């Protein structure tokens, strides 16, 4: 399979602190790939190494099936850095075209595409304004345009949603969808799971510099769902009483919980975790056999947020302070 990016055994140390510790992952072409992790997990450091800002201490990075990070690769990569920053005294159109030119476009082509992007992001009327006269949100859009002006094969977005209002977040999601449709690849990092979940095909969860989980979101969710969390809704109190015996069977049900949401006052809702080896079919058959009146029987697919919290743990989410150098 052709890959937009292959990262193998990546290590980066800052003094005694290991920021990235033996991380490997592969990004197939044409997917939206999310690197997820709490603050200080090593996401930005990893993306910076892919952009040849830092040199890794160990491991290798291969961009677009054969390029090493650096000058040749830079023409095919678009980058939205975590540290947003533009030349404050430059005019909006000049700034975008400038980066386009440095990413390998001819001057005329850079100008032409700048016009197109200004139009697309609704910035045309601001083209001749200095960057410093723009609002933060509009500066973000300009920054986004600098990452896309040269239509790169691989678009790398570091924390793209930070500082975006809901409307601009929507614009960003649409653009990412468009890139996917055109067969190009997006790699982004975030700790905002709700945004990520709407977009990603594949994810890699990292924490404290180490990889915890990698794969397609659908696979991961299926796998986590197979761990067996089932939401039940009973028709009435009698049905609930009738279900008690079935739910007490440790061969089928490992644990019975009060559901997090939609808990009815009369206790007609509940959530159970299946015992190892038990299946949802078994439970359903047992409930039906016991004559339990069911309103709802749902295999709960965990949200990305739940998976993330389960894997990373709430304690790790409070990251240690990052060293100054990162």
The residue ranges that bind other proteins (CB under 8 A) are 48, 51-54, 71, 74, 77, 79, 81-90, 94, 98-99, 101-103, 143, 146, 324-325
Closest CB to other proteins among residues 101, 175: 101
Please state whether beta strands 253-257 and 269-274 pair in parallel, antiparallel, or not at all (unpaired): antiparallel
First-to-final CA distance of the chain: 33
Report the residue number, 107 or 235, with the smaller CB distance to other proteins: 107
CB contact set of 141 (below 8 Å; sequence gap of 6+)? 121, 122, 123, 168, 171
Question: Would you say 79 or 117 has its CB closer to other proteins?
Answer: 79
Nearer to other proteins, 55 or 237 (CB): 55
Q: At 142, which helix (H) or strand (E)?
A: helix 136-148
Rounded distance, CA 55 to CA 89, Å? 31
Handedness of CA 262, 264, 265, 269 (dihedral sign): negative
Nearest approach, Cβ of residue 158 and other proteins (Å)? 9
Distance CA 237, CA 269 (A): 10
Q: How far is the CB of 48 from other proteins (least distance, A)?
A: 8
Rounded Cα gap, residues 193 and 230, in angstroms: 22
Handedness of CA 267, 270, 275, 277 (dihedral sign): positive
Instruction: In angstroms, give the least distance from the CB of 247 to other proteins.
Output: 55
**Least distance in angstroms from the C-beta of 87 to other proteins:** 6
CA atoms within 13 A on the CB side of 12: 28
Minimum distance, C-beta of residue 52 to other proteins, in the bound complex (Å)? 7
In this complex, which beta carbon is closest to other proteins, that of residue 131 or of residue 203?
131
- Least Å distance, CB 85 to other proteins, is 3
Q: Which is nearer to other proteins, 146 or 268 (CB)?
A: 146
CB 71, min distance to other proteins, A: 6
* Contact yes or no for 19/39 (Cβ under 8 A): no
Give 53 or 58: the residue with its C-beta nearer to other proteins.
Answer: 53
Sign of the dihedral through C-alpha 219, 174, 109, 155: negative
């Amino acid at each position: 399979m052709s890959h937009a990016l292959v990262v193998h055994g990546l290590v980066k140390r800052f003094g005694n602190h290991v920021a990235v510790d033996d991380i490997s992952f592969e990004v197939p072409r044409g997917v939206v790939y999310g690197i997820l992790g709490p603050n200080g997990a090593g996401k930005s450091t990893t993306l910076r190494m892919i952009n040849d800002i830092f040199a890794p201490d160990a491991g290798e990075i291969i961009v677009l099936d054969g390029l090493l990070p650096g000058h040749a690769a830079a023409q095919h990569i678009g980058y939205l850095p975590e540290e947003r920053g533009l030349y404050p005294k430059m005019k909006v159109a000049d700034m975008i075209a400038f980066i386009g030119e440095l990413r390998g476009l001819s001057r005329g082509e850079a100008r032409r595409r700048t016009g197109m992007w200004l139009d697309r992001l609704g910035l045309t009327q601001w083209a001749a304004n200095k960057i410093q006269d723009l609002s933060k949100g509009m500066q973000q859009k300009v920054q986004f345009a600098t990452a896309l002006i040269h239509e790169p094969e691989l678009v790398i977005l570091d924390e793209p949603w930070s500082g975006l209002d809901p409307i601009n977040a929507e614009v960003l999601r649409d653009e990412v969808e468009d890139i996917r449709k055109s067969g190009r690849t997006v790699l982004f990092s975030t700790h905002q799971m709700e945004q990520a979940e709407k977009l990603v095909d594949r994810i890699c969860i990292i924490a404290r510099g180490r990889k915890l989980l990698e794969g397609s979101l659908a696979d991961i969710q299926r796998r986590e769902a197979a761990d067996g969390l089932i939401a039940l809704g009973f028709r009435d109190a009698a049905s609930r009483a009738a279900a008690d015996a079935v739910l007490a069977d440790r061969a089928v049900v490992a644990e019975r919980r009060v559901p997090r949401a939609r808990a009815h006052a009369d206790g007609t809702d509940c959530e159970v975790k299946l015992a190892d080896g038990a299946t949802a079919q078994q439970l359903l058959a047992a409930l039906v056999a016991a004559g339990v009146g069911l309103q709802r029987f749902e295999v709960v697919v965990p949200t990305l947020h739940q998976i993330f919290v389960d894997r990373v743990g709430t304690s790790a989410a409070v990251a240690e302070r990052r060293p100054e150098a990162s």
